[in-house]
Amino acid sequence: MPKKIPQKQNNKIEHGEKQSSRAIGNIRPREIVAEMKDSYLDYAMSVIVSRALPDVRDGLKPVHRRILYAMYEDGLRHNVKFRKSATVVGACLGKYHPHGDTAVYDSLVRMAQDFSLRYPLVQGQGNFGSQDGDSQAAMRYTECRLSKIGEETLKDIEKN
C-alpha cells in the first residue's frame, strides 16, 4: 500500500512543505550561515570594545581595574607586607571577575613587570617573568601589593 503524502488544505502548511517563503509574525527565515556570520561579528565587536581595548581615560582594561580594586579593598597598600598572588587572584575571581584564574593572574603579572609598563601598578616579589620570554612562576610562589603609583590611581575611588 503506497504511503499517503500530506496535502495542502485551506492555506495551511502540512507536513513536507517548505516554510522558507512565509514569515511567521516577526520571525523571518534566514540562512544559518548568514545569521552566524552577523551574530558572531556583533559579539566579537562587543567583546573588543568592552573588554579587549584599554579605556582611553586610564589605559586600563576591565580586568586590570578589578584586580586593582580587589587589592585596594583588601588593604594591600604599598607600605604593607606582600600577600600571595593566589590570594589576590582568588579575591578578584570571587568578587568581580567570574572568568578563569589564568586571565586574572596573567594581567596581575603584566601590571607588575617593569618592562611591560612604564610605571608598574603592582609591586611583585618573586619570579614575574622576564623580557626574554621566560614565563612567570605559579601564583602560589609569587607575592604582590599595590605600588605607589597603583595606589595613586585609586586615591579618589571613595569620592562620589
The neighbour count for residue 68, using CB atoms within 10 Å, is 25
* Cα separation, 147 vs 112, whole angstroms: 9
Eight-class DSSP state of 131? T
Is the Cα dihedral 13, 16, 17, 20 positive or negative?
positive
Give the chain's length.
Answer: 160
Q: Among all residues, which ones are annotated catalytic?
A: 141
C-alpha cell at 96: 568581580
Check whether 6 has a pLDDT greater than 70: no
Check whether 22 has a pLDDT greater than 80: no
* Cα separation, 50 vs 159, whole angstroms: 24
Domains and CATH numbers, the chain: 58-153 (3.90.199.10)
Cα dihedral 72/74/77/82 (nearest 10) = -130
49-78 pLDDT tens trace: 888 888 888 889 999 999 999 999 999 999
Provide long-range contacts, Cβ within 8 A and 24+ apart, for 6-12: none
Eight-class DSSP state of 48? I
* Cα separation, 109 vs 120, whole angstroms: 10
Mean pLDDT of the chain, nearest integer: 87
84-105 pLDDT tens trace: 999 999 999 999 988 889 999 9
Eight-class DSSP state of 55? P
Q: What does pTM read for this prediction?
A: 0.72
Q: In what order do the strands lie in the sheet with 83-84?
A: 83-84, 143-146, 122-125
Residue type for 5, please? I
